[in-house]
Chain A
């Protein structure tokens, strides 16, 4: 192994530095990370969408547990470093763990500023910095009470919007006369305030907080003019300061932050600092672009590129509040040699202001319409001489030199160095090269290869236009394919919004998501019904009129309008009693055809709809229940005879199959799920072409998934190996639950797996124990409401109207 590299802190900056280091010099360092937070590296920029409910924690993870394993990184989760001994070259955590280093990276980030006012330690006073804060806010928001956010900057406004979205009554207190005064000029600040207020958030500017009131928990906030604002929750978002205490105690040079030179070295050449804790050229940074730039320099230095230097580049700001479009970059203060160009369109709520110096753009503020922000930012960063295009400059690239360009042409006209994704610092050239070089066709592919639009997503439109410009007609934006013509939203958006907006019925959902039709269509309604059912088990009332006929009447419609009936035979095992009952039913109801299915069941075809309840009653009498042969749900678990009979059997495959089926029957899934358990690798149950398959071996159970043997033929992928039946069942249930939560309606497991990635699924189920346990728990919970035999319910009279005509005139006439 190489030199020992210790990293204090596990945020975005060191994460990026390690990514770059592993690319540039794989295996050169043995890396140990100490993280004061008990978790992996996640995208802090995305805390706001997490708070508003638009994203889940899983979606904002940058490095899953697998990443640490893959790179041999030792991660101490929840270990806060309390001392650095530079003479001995060791760091020590509060837990007592000590690690030696050859090189050290300090990435302790920043700490939120807590106002030094009375009451600032009361229960209910929070800051907005990490996942714990967000979780505490979400918990507090459940009360639907009153929240006060102190600070009307970027973070404060995002927190306010998120809390409002969670149903709280929100007031924002801001010390300065206008919101976000560091990024916006006065006009844009006022426009922003109007928009924020229009969302029902109260804004008080020039508000100087004097005290937080309350006995044991926060009750109100008092301003210096005596105003008291009732509050159940107070969020301090008044700014951050570099967290440099540890470095200072270790004797490193510290001013506002930890002082570093252009190579990111501190006053000790073996110690680097990166991120919000570092002070480079007298500046501390809080936006992601320069922090990532620092990370690149640290990685390059560690990889031996002595020439790498950090230079601060211009930064741009975007507010991550859905529906508010705001962009600012550079310097927009007024000055003697400065000129400005302003465009206002009150009707459209558009405001644009450019600040010029020596025929160059040095500052830009866009409000309401930020579609040209990339172009303006590029002019600013490149210090382009704009004297030629000055006349029409403010209207954006569409008006430069001739007729207006369409958006795609505008993107095509951008230079290769133009930055498209600010979060991840990805320029146009890199995206185009990736599209052409790897033959990328979808947005997800581009995200995977370049990271562009993979963080906050505000550049998604640009990336798509770039794909259109590069691929032409070949670009099929499948990622944004609407569910159906009733909506412009895709399946994933709808699922996300169901959670974010707590939508719990189809009419609510259609209203909130602005469905274009009065009550949907035959494509979206069954999908919505499934999504609501899967999201709110026990709460959502199943809408049978939104189910396809087979699931509505629990039998399979045939071409002549009759139905087929398939009783469950657990694991494919039956008995004389069951067979006798089936034979009797066939004769009694003159059922035309009896057939053995591919899933080891018996199918009775040609049953009249009116006869269904009576047929089921007789089958119920013999102990048989619905086989769900019609369901987007668990169909069959096919088995071989295993150790019961077979001389090759290694485990009780029949018994395991029956256990799985008894545990999982009744669960609704995006599409049908077929399983099999084979007792040995000879695989007589054909488990390797199923949605989920188990191959028993001497040492336990190999779990397979994502096979197909229908329209497509595909062998399974290996999910992993487990030692016991109990663990096999837990893994399978967790896998199915993940599919239930992520799968698009009618998307089989193999297609879902292809879309989200086999490795991602494997990592979540086999490596992340916490995640697996969570998934398993949610599956068990939803089963509580799912396992009732639908046949027995209908024998008892449920949905009787389905099985009887409204009127039978033949009979009426005969009676006459």
Chain B
């Protein structure tokens, strides 16, 4: 096995997520929210708002941002950083799209626990 095969994990198809929506990937370390934007880009972030731990996967996706459903923090999906006056950062997880499949870097997930 190559390192590549070990790290990138197929979690589903891009089309399984609605446009401007998100779905969850459950794993041992918690939940990862996988977002799909109107422009058909995908992003993976920890499903945990830096403010009060709200489930970002339940928010409204607009542009390449998501608004947390609990208190309307806006998180940039590229960087995981809170926008505007709010300060905070969500952990982002490397994600690739290959032939319409979503591949997550599982090692990065594990790193969260190690950190």
What's the nearest-Cβ distance from chain B to residue A745, in Å? 14
B94 interface residue, CB < 8 Å from A? no
Nearest A-chain residue to B37, judged by Cβ:
A519
Contacts A805-B26, A806-B16 hold; do A522 and B72 have CB atoms under 8 A apart? yes
- Those of A789-815 within 8 Å (CB) of chain B: 801, 805-811, 813
Q: Is the CB of B69 within 8 A of A549?
A: yes
The answer to whether A801 and B18 touch across the interface, beta carbons within 8 angstroms, is yes
Question: How many residues belonging to A are interface residues under a CB distance threshold of 8 Å?
Answer: 27
Choose from B17, B26, B67, B102 the contact partner of A810 (Cβ within 8 Å).
Answer: B26
Tell me whether A520 is interfacial, beta carbon within 8 Å. yes
Query: Which residues from chain B contact A597 at a C-beta distance below 8 Å?
Result: none
B74 within 8 A of A: yes
Write the A520-544 contact mask toward B (1 if CB under 8 angstroms, else 0).
1110011000000000000000001
Q: Is B11 an interface residue (CB 8 A)?
A: yes
Enumerate chain A residues within 8 angstroms of B111, measured Cβ to Cβ.
none
Taking the closest CB of chain A, its distance from the CB of B96, in whole angstroms, is 15
Chain B residue numbers with a CB within 8 Å of A807 are: 11-12, 25-26
By the criterion CB–CB under 8 Å, are A522 and B26 in contact? no
Interface membership of A561, Cβ < 8 A:
yes
Give the shortest distance, in Å, between B14 (CB) and chain A (any CB). Answer: 10
Q: Which residues of B contact A595 (CB under 8 A)?
A: none
Q: Give the CA-CA distance A559 to B71 in the complex, in Å.
A: 10
1/0 per residue B21-65: CB within 8 Å of A? 101111110010010001100000000000010110011111101
Cα–Cα distance between A561 and B61 once the two chains are bound (Å): 17
- Write out, one digit per residue, whether chain A residues 65-100 have a CB within 8 A of any chain B CB (1) or not (0): 000000000000000000000000000000000000
Known interface pairs A518-B38, A813-B28. Does A545 touch B17 (Cβ–Cβ under 8 Å)?
no
Q: CB-CB < 8 A to A519: which residues of B?
A: 20, 38, 62-63
Complex: A522 Cα to B58 Cα, angstroms: 12
On whether A806 and B24 interact (CB within 8 A), knowing A525-B60, A546-B60, the answer reads yes
Report the minimum CB–CB distance from B40 to chain A (whole Å). 12
Flag whether B19 is at the interface (Cβ < 8 A): yes
Residue of B nearest to A813 (CB): B28
Q: Is A548 an interface residue (CB 8 A)?
A: yes
Interchain CB contact under 8 A, B11 and A522:
no
Select from chain B the residue with minimum beta-carbon distance to A558. Answer: B70
Contact indicator B70/A518 (Cβ below 8 Å): no
- Determine if B63 and A517 form an interchain contact, defined as CB atoms under 8 angstroms apart: yes
Q: CB of A734 within 8 A of chain B? A: no
B21 contacts which chain A residues (CB < 8 A)? 545, 801
Taking a contact as CB atoms under 8 Å apart, the answer to whether A805 and B24 are in contact is yes
**Interface residue A557 (Cβ < 8 Å from any Cβ of B):** yes
Neighbouring A residues of B23 by C-beta, 8 Å:
801, 805-806
Instruction: Determine the chain B residues whose CB is within 8 A of the CB of A806 once the complex forms.
Output: 11-12, 16-17, 23-25, 34, 102
B28 touching A809, Cβ below 8 Å? yes
A545-B20 in contact (CB<8A) = yes
Residue of A nearest to B58 (CB): A549
Whether the pair A521, B62 counts as a contact (CB closer than 8 A) is yes
B101 to chain A, nearest CB (A): 11
Would you call B60 and A526 a contact (CB within 8 A)? Answer: yes
A570 to chain B, nearest CB (A): 29
Q: Which residues of B contact A561 (CB under 8 A)?
A: 54-55, 58
- Tell me, rounded to whole Å, the shortest Cβ–Cβ distance linking A648 to chain B: 45
Of chain A, the residue at the smallest CB distance from B66 is: A522
Q: Tell me the bound Cα distance from A801 to B23 in angstroms.
A: 8
Report if A548-B63 is in contact (Cβ < 8 Å); known contacts: A559-B52, A805-B24, A805-B26: no
**B72, closest chain A residue (CB):** A522
B25 close to A557 (CB less than 8 A): no
Spell out B's residues near A (CB within 8 Å): 9, 11-12, 16-21, 23-28, 31, 34, 38-39, 52, 54-55, 58-63, 65, 67, 69-70, 72, 74, 102, 106
A residues at B contact (CB < 8 Å): 517-522, 525-526, 544-549, 553, 557, 559, 561, 801, 805-811, 813
The 9 closest A-B pairs by CB, nearest first: A522-B67, A806-B23, A809-B27, A522-B60, A807-B11, A545-B20, A561-B55, A549-B58, A805-B24
15 residue pairs of the A-B complex, CB under 8 angstroms, read A518-B63, A519-B62, A521-B63, A522-B60, A522-B67, A522-B72, A545-B18, A545-B20, A553-B58, A559-B52, A801-B23, A805-B25, A805-B26, A809-B11, A809-B106
Known: A559-B52, A561-B58. 19 other contacts (CB 8 A): A518-B63, A521-B74, A522-B67, A545-B18, A545-B61, A549-B59, A557-B55, A801-B17, A805-B26, A806-B11, A806-B16, A806-B24, A806-B34, A806-B102, A807-B26, A809-B27, A810-B26, A810-B27, A813-B28
